[in-house]
């Protein structure tokens, strides 16, 4: 089994809290700013890839409120 570095584990715990605070418009940019605030050397490219995968996976899905699923 591959061991995950502590920084990656910490980022995984941080991401749900970041999305909880994110606003619907500019969600990704806010996510990157929040991560860089806490982790200036974070691999933002990895976060961007994950965000794009989630965006494609949830394309066309909406919440009960009608907003796009990927905004949070």
Residue 51 has a pLDDT of: 86
Residue 6 has a pLDDT of: 58
39 CB-near residues (< 8 Å, 6+ apart): 7, 10, 11, 14
In a domain, 1, yes or no: no
Tell me the residue range of the domain where 48 lies: 6-58+65-71
Count of the separate structural domains present in the chain = 1
In a domain, 49, yes or no: yes
pLDDT per residue rounded down to tens, the chain (72 residues) = 555 555 666 666 666 555 554 445 577 888 889 999 999 998 889 988 988 898 899 888 888 888 888 765
Contact 14, 35 (CB under 8 A): yes
In a domain, 42, yes or no: yes
Residue 22 has a pLDDT of: 46
């Amino acid at each position: 089994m591959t061991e995950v570095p502590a920084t990656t584990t910490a980022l995984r715990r941080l991401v749900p809290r970041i999305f909880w605070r994110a606003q619907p418009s500019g969600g990704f940019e806010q996510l990157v700013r929040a991560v860089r605030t806490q982790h200036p050397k974070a691999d933002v490219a990895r976060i961007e890839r994950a965000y794009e995968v989630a965006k494609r996976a949830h394309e066309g899905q909406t919440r009960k409120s009608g907003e796009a699923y990927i905004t949070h």
